[in-house]
Amino acid sequence: MKKNAIILFIIFTFTLSIGATEQQASIVKNMDIYNAVWRELSINYVDTINYDQLNKIAIDRMLQKLDPYTVYIPESEEDDLKMMTTGAYGGIGAIITQKGDYVCISEPYEGMPAQKNDVRAGDLILELNGKSMKGKKTSEVSQLLRGLQGTEIELLLQRPGEKRSIKKHFLREVIQIDPVEYYGMVGDSTAYISLRDFTDKTTVGFRNAMADLTQNRGVKNLVIDLRNNGGGLVTEAINIAGLFLPKHTLVVTMKGLQPQNNKSYKTTSEPLYPNMPVVVLVNTNSASASEILAGVFQDMDRAVVLGERTYGKGLVQTVRRLPHNTYLKVTTSKYYIPSGRCVQAIDYAHRNEDGSIGRIPDSLTTEFTTRNGRKVRDGGGILPDTLLKRRDQVNISYYLFVKNIFFDYATEFAQKHKTIATPDSFVISDAIYDDFVKYVLDRKFTYKLESEGMIRELKKMAKLEGYEQESLAAFETLEEVLRPNVERDLQLFRKDVESLLGSEIVRRYYFQKGVVEYELRFDEWLHDALKVVNDEYLCRQILHVK
């Protein structure tokens, strides 16, 4: 019996060895072919070749067959890599957007070079360091705005309402985007913290926010907002989990092909807030590190998760340095949260015959249990303990936003009004709204509904099926109801229009944090979260706490 076991072990080891040898031979073979192609092109191709560009195209197309997170990063994009991990870059600190032939300042960051030097939202960038920006794309201008800390930049701007152009001359600085988008009190004893991403500054920012809230504001309950947080550094999510979970709690396990990619991470210190009630808000754009944090809270029955099913990114990337200051961000493992489940929603390894991919169907997922025995499943992101529905409505407010009407009006409004009320009290008065309606009508704003195209297709089908005459009156009535009427729709959908208009106006005076504070007043999901976090019995019931 022992002899048979030894024979089987030898056969198994030999088979693995053959497999590894065959794989290595395949790699060598294909590298020889790739090098031969390059050699032939360099010698015999009729035209001049941009080798760097061609090489990037070849690598990018190859990696497209894997997952979208495995990417090649050339030397020219090294700064982007640094920003992904640190949230920092050298520049002026402003969001830009395309507007006609020029790029426009969309939003200067508070306290950063652009804002400190009175560069405003709505300013068109005519020239940058003496060079015309006419016809330049946003990506091109963005690259030119960035540079080393302390280097000079000169902007020639055209400000709406001003006849003469404006010249600004100042120094670039290190732009550090605060991962804590906003924090504050949203009730007598409830705090709210919004995390935009997980960079190397997230834990520090979160701890500082919590210290302020607990020491100076008397917080007893907490809402952590991870909506639209695409993730980042997993270690930061682990550190934040450690503020609420017992020491040595398993947070995430990573499993890969190579032994060095197999790792388990546990909390390393005693929690600062072991008993504080917590609610976590997530949506379909919450991914990766966000899902780890929400997932460990759910698996350990430590917090109630509210919102939509999360994105479902359970793949872990490692950045590998390549020759000539290039990098490969490569997927090296999958992560598993304490219940044992992986939240990856898409199986990139098994594509359909046409090359397409899809989410793992629920029928192929596996059931797991949380610490308290609640049932959870893998293969599809984090399913919240309480599902909330997004209020999606494509009405006139959407078209006004797409055509920059809110943006342009807010720019003019800010020129006429030096101050407005604080974000926690500012409202769109009847006078402001009436002025906005007049502005829209004066600009002869029009739009077409998506339903118009659907009606045309339905009429064609009715005609094809022989019901043209019978359905004619019904279609005429429907077309009349759905025909856009700007003046009517501005009143019919006033609530939605006011919401977007108010946000854009507040942004001019109080920047990003002010907008968050303003929008929280009308955030229905936050209101649902407050009902849960302030109800101890409900929290215990959801989490199956005895």
pLDDT < 50 stretches in the chain: 5, 7-12, 14, 16
- Number of CB atoms found within 10 A of residue 229's CB: 30
Q: How many domains does the chain have?
A: 5
Give me Rg for the CA atoms of the chain: 28
In this structure, are 336 and 216 located in the same domain?
yes
**What integer pLDDT is reported at residue 8 of this predicted model?**
46
Q: Is residue 364 part of a domain?
A: yes
Residue 510: both structure tokens together: 């109080």
Nearest to 383 by CA among 298, 458, 449: 298
**What integer pLDDT is reported at residue 481 of this predicted model?**
75
| CA dihedral angle for residue 213, residue 233, residue 296, residue 214, rounded to 10 degrees | -10
* Cα 132 to the center of its chain, rounded Å: 32
In the chain, the amino acid numbered 122 is G
In this structure, are 111 and 234 located in the same domain?
no
In this structure, are 138 and 252 located in the same domain?
no
In this structure, are 256 and 231 located in the same domain?
yes
In this structure, are 248 and 364 located in the same domain?
yes
In this structure, are 465 and 360 located in the same domain?
no
In this structure, are 327 and 401 located in the same domain?
no
Distance CA 380, CA 374 (A): 17
Burial of 44 by CB count in 10 Å (0-12 exposed, 13-18 middle, 19+ buried)? exposed
Residues with Cβ within 8 Å of 371's Cβ and at least 6 positions away in sequence, in order, are 299, 300, 301, 338
**What integer pLDDT is reported at residue 11 of this predicted model?**
47
> Domain range for residue 463?
450-482
**What integer pLDDT is reported at residue 451 of this predicted model?**
77
- 3-state SS record for 211-252: HHHHHHCCCCEEEEECCCCCCECHHHHHHHHCCCCCCCCEEE
In this structure, are 376 and 413 located in the same domain?
no
Residue 476: both structure tokens together: 């005429």
In this structure, are 343 and 202 located in the same domain?
yes
Q: Is residue 403 part of a domain?
A: yes
pLDDT in tens, 62-79: 888 888 889 888 877 766
In this structure, are 197 and 300 located in the same domain?
yes
